[in-house]
Chains A and B, each alone.
Chain A
């Protein structure tokens, strides 16, 4: 099986590349590295290409932001507007980057994205400047991310804290909450795609879900513990494991997909302490959360039906989209995730949850040769909220969305970034 084809190989970082991020509104891909730089690439579709689903974009190196970070840049993220880039570094700071000419001239954006010749314009080539640096973490910042409407920014660190910042005019950021509920290194963050709900995952083997309590302050409203039993040898990467976690509202789904294992000549003893949760991703609908951990398993958590009042639709089968996963084994997997018409209700669940199925539809081994892969991200182009249906801007955004929706990017220890396309099937 393949189901994945290589679109572009982008070399340039001189040290491991840790994270890739697609700009949501413009044809830009960013990557960051231990070499303390951010590299920006643009892409365009050849004007001769007519077939929306198989057209291959052409990638071009655009610019490098040297940054002033003193250590590894671990994480990067774009604001929903696509105008601001944020960097999280092992030097404990968070950098906010913008193109100053654009800030002064909002019309410039309109002109650029509404340009005519050959479709989209490469409007990320101007100089990116650090408009502010957020300080506060006591040790390495591990992850950064904007909320779905761009009103909030979150960061987390080895200092066990999760910070929520309010984004104010003129590149001003006010810290509105510092949450210390994790007992260890906080590895990653994920904002809910529609609501102001923040998920964090930690070395302490737990996932916390945070929200703003109108009567109090930001705080955790639920703790998810995958509680994966240590197995010897470890679960082969890419297996979605069933698990009977002891949690209430959100619940892990049972789905098992077995892959051929690598059949090592000797077993590597499993790590006995509860596994670090390294990665989080919400489904586009916001009803499911995927988590990936040390032992190679992926867990999918469902929002309990009590979470939502619109429960009638949950009885229908539904395609939830594709989940991409990767890791130190150098393998990229693409899973087709579906919600079945069945629901699960057991004693440790407070409400029924839909049963899901996961099928592997893409597999690429040694995707970066011998190197560990540190990041995978789908291209998700958004249609600007203020774009009127029927307008040029709207049509262009829809077209960009359709053409790019099967693209994903990966970043690896050799500093390379690769772009892939999930093929039909």
Chain B
């Protein structure tokens, strides 16, 4: 976030976001109460946004499935730690790099992300931000695995190992400095496809 140090990638490729969130099909069959909450969530307040609502739905209505697009909507508008752009605009995340299994008892989400350059020092931080977002927003029955796109980073294996070390993730969340940086990136996460900056 700070411009004190030189950017790892000073001239990233920027892409236009795809169509706006397209997840309404899932909510159309939800209860009246859910629709009401959904309306509130469109106001864009952080507390009620997106899957904070999804979480409530899960509690009331046992197991409503989620799909790749919904997971993508949760993470596409997270701000990159280095550029005032979203992870979608920088093509760090995309819907095609998300897999969801709704198999009962084995619900999983697998996300691959692609740092803009192979020596990006922010890769761990981006991964941590993705994990925090999904930890907070997804129904807790989904186990989340996060990987760097194969071949996209020089320290791919080391970063993958760290991002999937539960103890380190928990400890990171108790580190107020680190958490502050993560929260900064997440401040735009509710935009669900809207652009920022530029």
Task: Name A's B-contacting residues (CB within 8 A).
Answer: 16, 34, 71-72, 74, 90, 140, 142, 158, 185, 187, 203, 262, 264-266, 268-269, 271-273, 276, 294, 328, 365-366, 370-372
Contact = CB atoms under 8 A, between A and B. Distances in A.
B170 to A, nearest CB: 6
B25 interface: no
B95 to A, nearest CB: 15
Q: Which of A34, A158, A273, A294: most chain B Cβ within 10 A? A: A273
B61 to A, nearest CB: 16
Interface stretch (B9-17, B82-90, B158-166): B158-166
Given A272-B160, A273-B160, A262 B167 contact: no
| Secondary structure class of chain B's binding surface, majority of residues | mixed
Q: Which of B101, B105, B171: most chain A Cβ within 10 A? A: B171
A187 B110 contact: no
Interface residues of B, number: 27
B157 A273 contact: yes
Interface of B: 99, 101, 103, 105-108, 110, 140-141, 143, 145, 147, 150, 156-158, 160-161, 164-168, 170-171, 174
Given A265-B101, A266-B101, A370-B140, A72 B170 contact: yes
Q: Which of B107, B158, B170: most chain A Cβ within 10 A? A: B170
A142 B167 contact: yes
Contacts of A71: 171, 174
A70 B113 CA distance: 33
A264 B170 contact: no
Contacts of A142: 167
A53 B140 CA distance: 37
Given A72-B170, A90-B171, A203-B165, A265 B158 contact: no
A372 B142 CA distance: 11
A371 B157 contact: no
A16 B174 CA distance: 13
- Which 5 A-B residue pairings sit nearest by Cβ, starting from the closest? A370-B141, A265-B101, A272-B157, A273-B157, A71-B174
17 contacts: A72-B171, A74-B167, A90-B170, A90-B171, A140-B167, A140-B171, A142-B167, A187-B167, A262-B106, A264-B101, A264-B106, A265-B108, A266-B108, A266-B110, A269-B150, A271-B157, A271-B160
A265 B174 CA distance: 34
A276 B162 CA distance: 10
Nearest to A15: B170
